[in-house]
Amino acid sequence: MGLSSMKGSEESEAYDAQIHLYKHVYNFVSSMALKSAMELGIADAIHSHGKAMTLSELSSALKLHPSKLGVLHRFMRLLTHNGFFTKTSTQKEGAEEEIAYALTPPSMLLVRSKPTCLAPIVKGALHASSLDMWHSSKKWLTEDSKELTLYESATGESFWDFLNKTTESDTLTMFQDAMAADSAMFDLALQECKHVFQGLSSLVDVGGGTGGVARLIHQAFPHLKCTVLDQPQVVANLPSSENLNFVGGDMFKSIPSADAVLLKWVLHDWNDELSLKILKNCKEAIRGKGKEGKVIIIDIVIDETGDDSKLTELKLDYDLVMLTMFNGKEREKKEWEKLIYHAGFSSYKITPICGFKSLIELYP
């Protein structure tokens, strides 16, 4: 290779590296554009319209200031490139051809009238308190405090304390809405894992919030007696029925007895020591059920060799969210296995569900 070729190769490598770096530096812009689209209700407007909308139609429906038409175009251009909308051409009689925007499967998840609406996830994940803490990451990483989360280092309080402030009840509602939205996706997964709940007569949904998942399971299995265990302030005043009951309590102290215990999106909030305590309480709750009893976990299993790059990136992003917000973690299979056996379970089974999560069944 001649000197000019070597130089050209080095330049090309440097340019590629620059593009890679800049892309990750400015990834937040795509997130903020998505947040803006959610807040404006762009997907709702197009869905209500019943067909693709031109920029002028969309601007009018969203009640934007006329001067922002060009701004809307540039937002839609990025959001379309990122797969949230698709462009088509439309032409009215006697008028020039115009570009119109239609929904795609990802933006359909932002339509609030749909049962599987993930708009609350966007709102919760991109809340100011979740973003501002990252400005304190250097301070946090140089602090000698093992148990302090990045959120605590930045704000002076834990995220749980922040949620439970009476003056911040709207934030608690936002968090509960986000969890309920995520639970709605479980309705799709339930079709592929119904066998997991067959043969059970009772189930405790630990950390089940306002009962989104428990209601879906109850609808699929009306005979199954479901109990939702969560903090007293979460389940207070929620109506119970014959086979759907709400109990205020502390999963670190005890869990009601049942054939099975469900832990959906719970253990990744906690470190290994606290997760072990929860799992031991779960094992105690099914102790009288013999081989018929089990614990059902729905959480992430990191698999860098088996998953594609896009899926791995999502799981690793979640891991840093859990670390910085709660001192929790997403776990690899070997980490799950260690935790499961230390809790005293004899065997387990992992089944991928919901696109990026896994269903883990534990047996005593």
- Which are the catalytic amino acids? 268
CA distance 65 to 224: 53
> Any idea how long the chain is?
364
| Residue in 157, 276, 256 with CA at minimum distance from that of residue 203 | 256
* Strands (DSSP E) found in 144-216: 202-206
CA distance 305 to 318: 18
Contact by Cβ (8 Å): 151, 137: no
* b (16+ CB within 10 A) / e for 17-44: eeeeeeeeeeeeeeeebbbebbebbbbb
C-alpha distances in angstroms, 325 versus 153, 212, 228, 269? 10, 23, 24, 8
CA distance 112 to 97: 31
Contact by Cβ (8 Å): 271, 329: yes
Side chain identity at residue 258, one-letter code: A
Q: Which residues pair with 227 in a beta bridge?
A: 204, 245
CA distance 235 to 174: 15
Q: Which residue has the tokens 């809340």?
A: 127
| Residue in 281, 247, 260, 262 with CA at minimum distance from that of residue 206 | 262
